[in-house]
Amino acid sequence: MNIIRWRIIWYIFSGALVVLSIVSLVFWGLRFGIDFTGGSLLEVKFADNRPTVEKIQEVLQPLELDGVSIQPSGDKGVLLRFKHVDEITHQTMVRQLSDAGGGEADELRFESIGPTIGKELQRRSLWALIVAMTFIVIYIAWAFRKVSRPVASWKYGLTAVLALAHDALITIGAFSLLGHFLGVEVDSLFVSALLTVVGFSVHDTIVVYDRTRENLFRHTLADFAETVNKSVNETIVRSINTSLTTILVLLSLYLFGGETIRYFSLALIIGIIIGTYSSIFLASPLLVEWYKLGAGKKVKK
């Protein structure tokens, strides 16, 4: 399969996904959870049938809660997100929910995060992604230091980071769309999922690059694009099989793991699918593109 030859198709496909992600983020942004905005989260489980959302809103109306969000959880549970409240209001809410018609409301968890902590978590999350990408460039440049021809070692690291930035941006864009249309929120688990996607993506890309390095030593006179294409084809089955087994496990977690980790699993599923695609159809073609641009400049000189 001549993946490198048809790289313009992969560029167009990736470009369309990136543009869609950017447009979604510009117009709708992300729907941040209380981890980032500050506020309270209450999860309860009813002894009998779960009341309707309208009934829950009705019994909580006297408390005058601002921006309350009600989300069903499991068969009989419900998640409520709202601005910070004191302990008296918290206990009153639990009692009011017991009067909503679903029987006794059993409190499963209650979390409260101040807005200052939420802003600090946003800042730390951004720095975590930046630091991770920086160290990845440095590590790959060092690991490929003996491969200086025909492409400098640091270019391997930079193209790998471009591919993983592509993966992270599309995953974030997907959750921007999910947040706008389905009310899905991002929290600290989403940041953990992003960092995991970054690690998985670069790991898959390094496997392809490592095979390219081996083939460059074995076939010193071969065309660079042909060598890269040969390397991608030699590792493509391994990449797909590894990703597929991981996705099957994550799919099980998404379906049966409960509300708490459902969207964490979904973020990993999306990220790993995009990461597998980019390691095969984007990272190596970008390396060849960089080589051809450098070769073109030498010819002009």
Report in angstroms the alpha-carbon separations of 206 from 143, 203, 209, 211, 284: 10, 5, 5, 8, 10
What is the DSSP code (8-state) at residue 63? G
Angle of helix 153-182 versus helix 115-143 axis, rounded to 10: 150
Highest mean pLDDT among 22-26, 37-41, 213-217: 22-26
pTM above the 0.85 mark?
Answer: no
> Domain 39-113 has what CATH class?
alpha beta
Dihedral sign for Cα atoms in the order 23, 28, 29, 31: negative
Q: How confident is the model at residue 29 (pLDDT cuts 50, 70, 90)?
A: very high
How many helices (DSSP H) and strands (DSSP E) are in the chain?
A: 10, 4
| Side chain identity, residue 72 | P
C-alpha–C-alpha distance, residues 62 and 58, integer Å: 8
Round to whole Å and give the CA distance between 220 and 38.
Answer: 58
- Range ranked top by mean pLDDT from 123-127, 282-286, 294-298: 282-286
* pLDDT, position 87: 86
Q: Which CATH class is domain 7-32+116-300?
A: mainly alpha
Lowest mean pLDDT among 37-41, 110-114, 218-222, 252-256: 218-222
Phi, psi of 33 (to 5 degrees): -85, -175
Where does the chain hold its CATH 3.30.70.3400 domain(s)?
39-113
- What integer is the mean pLDDT of 103-122? 78
Could you give the CA distance from residue 225 to residue 208 in angstroms, rounded to a whole number?
A: 14
Start and end residues for every CATH 1.20.1640.10 domain found in the chain: 7-32+116-300
Q: What are the tens digits of pLDDT across the range 135-190?
A: 887 887 787 776 656 777 778 888 888 998 999 999 999 999 999 998 888 888 89
Looking at residue 76, its pLDDT comes to 85
59-92 pLDDT per residue, tens:
888 888 766 888 888 788 888 888 788 888 889 9
Please state, rounded to an integer, the average pLDDT across all residues of the chain.
Answer: 86
pLDDT at 118: 67
Residue 9 one-letter amino acid: I
Give percent above pLDDT 70 in the chain: 93
Q: How confident is the model at residue 25 (pLDDT cuts 50, 70, 90)?
A: very high
14 vs 127, residue with greater confidence: 14
Distance (Å, whole) CA 105 – CA 87: 17
pLDDT tens digits along 39-62:
888 899 998 888 888 888 888 888
